[in-house]
Amino acid sequence: MKQTIMKKLILFTAVLFFLSFTTKKELIKIPIINDKEAKAAGFNIFFVPIKLAGIEKQFKMQFDLGLDVSAIYGNSLQAICEKYPNLKKNFYVRDEYQIVKTKYYIAGIESNLDSLLVFANYGSDKKFEEQDIIGSIGVNQFKNKILLINYNERYIQILDNDSQIDKEKFDCTPMTVTKNNKIIINLKAGDSFVPFLFDSGNGVPLVTINKNFFDEQTENQKELRDTISGNSWGETIRLFGAKQQKNIGTENTNFTIGQNRIYYTQANKIVEQFKEMNVEHSIGNNFFMGKTILFDFKNNKFGLKKQ
């Protein structure tokens, strides 16, 4: 009798052990929400749903892979603290920055981070009930993870390891994350691979400070040129654009040449930033619309799903 019970217990334990290794963790699809005004202007900037622990309201944060750290806007934080004063106890001022310690959730997934940088004097000054976009999700959110972005179905997934995805379906290329958490991906332009800063928070499709590159990629498009003027950190900048005419992509997979535009600038701030990272170009969401890409922060690989 005892031997029979022991055999059943061993069998039961073995089944549980087997299931623990064969049952895959369900991957949650985090929706990415378009900025409607940017979309109407021809640019693609996205937001993800956010909830702060203990706060009975759902907000949004910009999904910004051009930002090194996840952050909450100071004005929005102040409005939240007026409604939930206990949050002030978690506010810390350092020599050169401020943080707020709090658990937060991205579409129900608890963040592996326990604090947010505070962007002082930034964001909406509306009351708590009217607060909507309260910060930005940056690169540090995905350290040692694999991030998948499905632009066609408009969602992202955060993966723990390679077993959760079929990487054979992706054409991969080397990727570097700088000490300041900037993502540099190597893409094929012409006959050679060129480093690009990836910036999902920048609505401009592709920016270059190399005039020769601009001329080569947009040749014979003088009648389709345009100019964007704006303000960047106090500097008035001008971007001169034209329609892309030549392939850019990974080794075997190119982005479709459609309505993508490439912009050239010599704005001081942009030139300085690019030179610090040893790049001449940045690329954003517009080039990947309709496609699926991945960032493997564990193995330093960028992947574009094969056609």
pLDDT in tens, the chain (307 residues): 545 544 444 444 444 444 444 344 568 999 998 877 656 556 678 999 999 999 999 999 999 999 999 999 999 999 999 999 999 999 998 888 899 999 999 999 999 999 999 999 999 999 999 999 999 999 999 999 999 999 999 999 999 988 888 888 999 999 999 999 999 999 998 888 999 999 988 778 899 999 999 998 887 666 668 888 876 666 788 889 888 888 888 888 777 666 688 999 999 989 999 999 999 999 988 888 889 999 999 999 999 998 7
Domain boundaries, the chain: 30-142, 163-305
pLDDT for the residue 236: 82
Distance CA 97, CA 127 (A): 24
pLDDT of res. 2: 44
With CA atoms as reference, report the closest residue to 67 among 190, 210, 180.
180
Q: For position 56, what pLDDT does the model report?
A: 92
Quick check: do 30-142 and 163-305 share a fold? Answer: yes
pLDDT of residue 257: 66
CATH class of the domain at 163-305: mainly beta
Phi-psi region of 290 (alpha: psi -120 to 50; beta: other; left: phi over 0): left
d(C-alpha 109, C-alpha 15), whole Å: 29
Burial class (CB within 10 angstroms; exposed 0-12, middle 13-18, buried 19+) of 283 = buried
The pLDDT of residue 26: 67
Q: Note the pTM of the prediction, 2 decimals.
A: 0.85
CA 116, distance to chain mean position in Å, is: 16
pLDDT score at 183: 96
Report residue 229 as tokens: 């003027």
Cα angle for residues 119, 122, 128 (degrees, 5° grid): 105
Residue 64 has, within 13 A of its CA and on its CB side, a CA count of 19
Q: What secondary structure does DSSP assign to 142-196, as a single string?
A: GTTSEEEEETTTTEEEEESSGGGS-GGGEEEEEEEE-TT--EEEEEEETTEEEEE
Fold of 30-142: Cathepsin D, subunit A; domain 1 (2.40.70)
Pairing of strands 206-208, 261-264: parallel
